[in-house]
A = this chain, B = another copy of it.
């Protein structure tokens, strides 16, 4: 039952953060929406920012976790296919967690503490990408430094495209494929006709 309340707070908060922004959302709004008393909030969260951090962190962990499991170790895959799958998986995760996608992009990481959460998230993502790039020898000649830049660029690429498509344009799940094709296309640019690079199952 306590967990019910916790979930209720999180759900109400996400909704409100999304619609009116973190700084415009009052704790009193959250508890009203969650149907609990003002003081009860503090039985579940240390502070308003703690709630934000927990919510954001949870979503981020989910995204990182999903990506981490993407190239199922059992199969033999080439780098290109793996990249395709990771991008597709990222988009699916961003779609599922588009509330957080929205929050991070719209309302930023105002406090130093929250900023660390974001930095850590991007760091994990980057490491994951670098590991994959190395494992599949996607950029054989790259130094560690170049791989890092490459990784952050990819992160930005996917995130901004996801924001544009899922938030601004309201794309649904059925359009994830389309977006993936374009993003993967960037990886090989105009070299190959897009759409011809053999999708995936």
Contacts and interface: CB of A to CB of B under 8 A. Distances in A.
A139 B189 CA distance: 8
Stoichiometry, as copies per complex, reads 4
A77 interface: no
Contact of A21 (B80, B111, B161): B111
The number of chain A residues touching the other chain, given as a range, is 35 or more
A104 to B, nearest CB: 8
B22 A150 contact: no
Interface of A: 21-24, 79-80, 104-111, 115, 119, 122, 138-142, 145-146, 148-150, 152-161, 163-165, 168, 178-179, 181-183, 185-191, 193-195
Considering the complex of A and B, which 9 residue pairs feature the smallest CB-CB distances, nearest first?
A156-B160, A108-B108, A156-B156, A157-B157, A152-B164, A187-B189, A153-B161, A107-B108, A153-B157
